[in-house]
Amino acid sequence: MSASPILSAFRQALTEAWAGGAGALMPLGFFAGAAVLVPLGIGTDPTTLRAVGPGILWVALALASLVTLERIFQADVEDGALDLWLQTGAPASMIAAAKAFAHWLTAGLPLAILSPIFALMFQAKADTSLLAHMGLYALGGLAFFFWGGVGAALSATVRRGGLLISLIALPLYVPTAIFGALAMSGGPGSTGAPLFLAASTLFALAVAPFAMGAALRLAAD
Amino acid sequence: MFSWFANPHRFLTLSSWLAPVCYALGALLIAWGLWQGLWIVPKDEYQGGDIMRVMFLHVPAAWLAMASYMGMAMMSFIWFIWRHEVADIAAKAIAPLGATWTALCLATGSIWGKPTWGTWWQWDDARMMSVLFMFFLFLGYMALRAAMDTRQKAARAGAILAMVGAINVPLIKFSVDLFTSLHQDASVITVDGPKMAAVYLWPLLASGLGHSLLFAGLVMTLMRAEIWQRRAAQIRARLMAGD
Amino acid sequence: MLPEFDKNAAFIWASYALGAIMIGGAILTVMMKARLAKAELARTQARAEEARQK
């Protein structure tokens, strides 16, 4: 009984992401745009590009998550779907987590999977480390979507909440961005960083749903 | 204990004399700290000469940046659990003032950094980065509250965000420390030095306490203003209903 | 008498001037807000009193 609203929220988020033309392709376009514009902006020197590539992709991933998240809870508040889910007595935190997870699946995970292509465009060496980086982008993206989801849930009743979400999410994105970029730097500290990244993502998974749930109950009032 | 303070009327009575006391004591302590810091204490050649005198403004600001955020988060927590109206009023009042002192900490740190490090902004300095993110947390809190259409919603959303921010502060701090410890430039002069001479300690403590008292006084005055505003709004609502 | 500082005097004065402006600004804003709120409350209370006597 209490599982069904969570499932329906998850399914609805999936269809929502694919429907309406842009959907899941929008963050991908955003990601590709950043990857293509950066070499035009900072020059085409291969060593420079190789050095900044992973960092640029982290920034693009963070920004792409913000682009997706702007409306994920707003539509549910407006069309009353949120009220229906909450009336069934399902925990708001699980509904919120299901939605954030669905959006990570449709917008975050594809970016991570395509990351080797963009890494190659940034002159990265084609070896197995690109596959490991894929995992790191996926993991870090999960944290981005959950913390960004907190911003989205808090500003669900605010029209044009995009700027607000960015402002709220920015400080929360810091640990993930630092650990993620550090893990790929290859320098000192890069061996422990993947563990820290995993730990901070787990922390996001543990804490963010409750904050999102509280924010959604507020939005439904 | 919280409930005793939770009564707005009791708060108004208390703050009517406590706020002026805070202002007076704070002004005295800041004045003494300034006089000692700018005129009396000798300059420290190890710390780059006279520039260390900025410490008597910068360190209190840094202390208040941390303390005010923690205070705001605690007030948010109290409001969230017990729904004491005064706690929310306190959290709302702390935000703009905390942001002011945080910005002051960043600005004076930057001015101090220029002659010491040769740069206005040092990405390698963990403290600068942490305080910058603290500043963003304040800005986000204020923007969120301002965007909500009712007072109740602003209080709830603000409390959730302040608590989420507060539990993230240690993680942000840890990640920034890790980031900067790997980028540390050996030529950087550590601003704290190996140990602080006792001549600087007392003026510094006086300045820190003085700024804290001034801050507390300002928070109370701002809270009084908010309570009066809410009362006026209540009376207006009753008048409208009566018509 | 102003104290004399070494070559970094400009930086020191700049920080303290900035501190004075920011803290002074905060104090002024807060005081003005409190005064306005108090006046507004008094006006509203007077209006309520008037309404009750009618």
Would you list the domain boundaries of chain B? 21-242
Please check the confidence at residue A145 and state whether its pLDDT lies above 60.
yes
**DSSP secondary structure code for residue A70 in this structure:** T
Q: Please tell me the predicted confidence (pLDDT) of residue B179.
A: 78
Q: What is the 3-state secondary structure (H, E, C) of B30-97?
A: HHHHHHHHHHHCCCEHHHCEHHHHHHHHHHHHHHHHHHHHHHHHHHHHHHHHHCCHHHHHHHHHHHHH
Which tops the pLDDT comparison, A213 or A125? A213
CA gyration radius, chain A: 18
Please check the confidence at residue B168 and state whether its pLDDT lies above 50.
yes
CA distance B191 to B198: 16
Q: Quick one: which of A173, A168, A80, A87 has its CA closest to B148?
A: A168
Q: What is the 3-state secondary structure (H, E, C) of B93-120?
A: HHHHHHHHHHHHHHHHHHHHHHHHHCCC
Please check the confidence at residue B184 and state whether its pLDDT lies above 70.
no
Which tops the pLDDT comparison, C6 or B104? B104
The tens digit of pLDDT for each residue in C4-44 reads 777 788 888 999 999 999 999 999 999 999 999 999 999 99
Q: Please tell me the predicted confidence (pLDDT) of residue B46.
A: 65
% of chain A surpassing 90 pLDDT = 23
What is the token pair recorded at B163?
A: 């608590």
ipTM for the whole complex: 0.91
Question: Is C17 touching B (CB cutoff 8 A)?
Answer: no
Pick from B53, B116, B207, B220 the residue to mutate for testing the C interface (most C CBs within 10 Å). Answer: B53
Average pLDDT value for residue range B78-98: 93
Q: Please tell me the predicted confidence (pLDDT) of residue A59.
A: 87
Residues of C in contact with B111 (CB under 8 A): 11, 14-15, 18
Q: Inter-chain contact B175–A178, Cβ cutoff 8 Å?
A: yes
Comparing alpha-carbon positions, the chain C residue that sits nearest to B105 is: C19
The subunits that touch chain B, with at least 3 C-beta pairs less than 8 Å apart, are A, C
Q: Please tell me the predicted confidence (pLDDT) of residue B18.
A: 94
Please check the confidence at residue B187 and state whether its pLDDT lies above 60.
no
Q: Please tell me the predicted confidence (pLDDT) of residue B37.
A: 83
Which amino acid does the sequence have at A107? A
Q: Inter-chain contact A154–B137, Cβ cutoff 8 Å?
A: no
Distance to chain B for C31, nearest Cα, Å = 7
Tell the residue number behind the tokens 């005010």, with chain if given. B68
Q: Please tell me the predicted confidence (pLDDT) of residue B44.
A: 72
Angle at B207 between CA B203 and CA B210, to 5 degrees: 135
Q: Please tell me the predicted confidence (pLDDT) of residue B190.
A: 47
> pLDDT tier at B216 (50, 70, 90 boundaries)?
very high
Q: Please tell me the predicted confidence (pLDDT) of residue A122.
A: 81
Question: Is C21 touching B (CB cutoff 8 A)?
Answer: no
Comparing alpha-carbon positions, the chain B residue that sits nearest to C11 is: B111
Residue positions counted in chain B: 243
| Helices within chain A (DSSP H only) | 3-18, 25-42, 46-69, 74-79, 81-87, 92-103, 109-121, 129-154, 162-185, 193-220
Q: Please tell me the predicted confidence (pLDDT) of residue B188.
A: 37
Residues of B in contact with A211 (CB under 8 A): 160, 163-164
The tens digit of pLDDT for each residue in A92-144 reads 899 899 989 988 888 888 888 888 888 888 877 778 888 888 999 999 999 99
Average pLDDT value for residue range B168-192: 65
Pick from B137, B156, B171, B174 the residue to mutate for testing the A interface (most A CBs within 10 Å). Answer: B171
Q: Please tell me the predicted confidence (pLDDT) of residue A200.
A: 92
Q: Please tell me the predicted confidence (pLDDT) of residue B47.
A: 66
Q: Please tell me the predicted confidence (pLDDT) of residue B243.
A: 60
> pLDDT tier at B194 (50, 70, 90 boundaries)?
very low
Q: What is the 3-state secondary structure (H, E, C) of B158-179?
A: HHHHHHHHHHHHHHHHHHHHHH
Average pLDDT value for residue range B77-93: 93
A152 within 8 A of A72, measured Cβ to Cβ: yes
- All structural domains of chain A with their residue ranges: 3-220
Which of the residue ranges B7-21, B86-100, B110-124, C25-39 would you say has the lowest mean pLDDT?
B110-124
Comparing alpha-carbon positions, the chain C residue that sits nearest to B58 is: C15
Residues of B in contact with A179 (CB under 8 A): 175, 178
**A touches B, CB cut-off 8 Å, minimum 3 pairs:** yes
Please check the confidence at residue B221 and state whether its pLDDT lies above 90.
yes
Residues of B in contact with C22 (CB under 8 A): 100, 103-104, 107
Comparing alpha-carbon positions, the chain B residue that sits nearest to A179 is: B175
Q: Inter-chain contact B225–C37, Cβ cutoff 8 Å?
A: yes
Q: Inter-chain contact B172–A174, Cβ cutoff 8 Å?
A: yes
Q: Please tell me the predicted confidence (pLDDT) of residue A24.
A: 66
Count of beta carbons in the 10 Å neighbourhood of residue A203: 18
Residues of B in contact with C20 (CB under 8 A): none
Average pLDDT value for residue range B56-65: 90
CA distance B182 to A186: 12
Chain A residues near any Cβ of chain B (below 8 Å):
150, 154-155, 157-158, 161, 163-164, 167-168, 170-172, 174-175, 178-179, 182, 187-189, 193, 196, 200, 203, 207-208, 211, 214-215, 218, 221
DSSP B167-235: HHHHHHHHHHHHHHHTT--TTPPPSS-SS--HHHHHHHHHHHHHHHHHHHHHHHHHHHHHHHHHHHHHH
Phi (first) and psi of residue B44, to 5 degrees: -110, 105
Q: Please tell me the predicted confidence (pLDDT) of residue A1.
A: 42
CA distance B65 to B98: 6
Q: Please tell me the predicted confidence (pLDDT) of residue B183.
A: 55
> pLDDT tier at B105 (50, 70, 90 boundaries)?
very high
CA atoms within 13 A on the CB side of B140: 33
A150 within 8 A of A186, measured Cβ to Cβ: no
Q: Please tell me the predicted confidence (pLDDT) of residue A20.
A: 56
Question: Is C13 touching B (CB cutoff 8 A)?
Answer: no
Please check the confidence at residue B189 and state whether its pLDDT lies above 50.
no
